[in-house]
Structure 1
């Protein structure tokens, strides 16, 4: 093995370890569902069940992944969502840290992971509500298979994703690898994640996570 081979092997190992730690943190996050922090709503979320994979007929074929570019905006036409994207890291528990509650209309992207449109699963999170109003992903679980998500990127391209699954996953059945891992190798995939189910006043947390899965099917400008 050459020195270059050793460096590549070490890099791959570090990537695998980082992904494993992220999955562990996401598993803990999903099991606990995010305790309510100051300013978060104590009302039940507007959506209490996921629609799963609706029977909408054949979905479009996957497009070839794009080169990596930074996301700038998320557009979800069916929900009337047009939200800026900010880069986020991990919180103290090892889960993706969402934007602050005073930025409830902003979507957080896990910047150490995949860039939307590139091969792999890009991860984005947003709040469902605040103490006073719905937040950016309040209606997320009303999306259906076949719906469209557009990600405006800093290279001027619009990565267009087609929704292939919407699920509200109870915390006792949460599986981070299944929820956030790649569904089909080689595809450019996207996950949008928020709290879901109902609000449990006793534990001051939501009972589930809403997870929207989509894959790249085209581009625009």
Structure 2
């Protein structure tokens, strides 16, 4: 058994009727990748394709000819114009070889949407190293996101507030459409500064009230 990337060699001219081409096409969203596996045609009469978990197994009867790792365990298979979905977590397809020199199997992966909402427009988001706030990703696979800054300043002057992100990056297994909303907390420095200013204002207000009370008391005594 030989394995060749489909975009490097065209094997049709090398088969000469003694082998069969098994073409595997993996579709991930709008992209696809092809692989060609060269199998001995004899004594093949039919092959059995079994997809379970993240593995596609090619068998002749009970004999395993080939095991192909898949990107995810969420997919449908398309073979000879028919679409096959999992039943009891497995797909089984029997393909008659007969006079055919090529069998094409398409693996169509399920995709879900991962959205990262940083709340602020000036914070850039990267999902799987792509500058995207929303991205279609493989269902059941781990995806990672990151933001380009963990601190933002809101307002200006004495009204400026410094906010710190609870997380600047994370990885998660995405099983369904998911929205990650980044939470921002006021920095301890700003909290301390604000509390200090409030305390100063209260002290100043207290002193002002004392002065005002003292003046009124003096006026009343002078009458």
Same fold (TM over 0.5): no
State TM-score, norm by structure 2: 0.24
Higher strand share: 2
Larger gyration radius, structure 1 or structure 2: 2
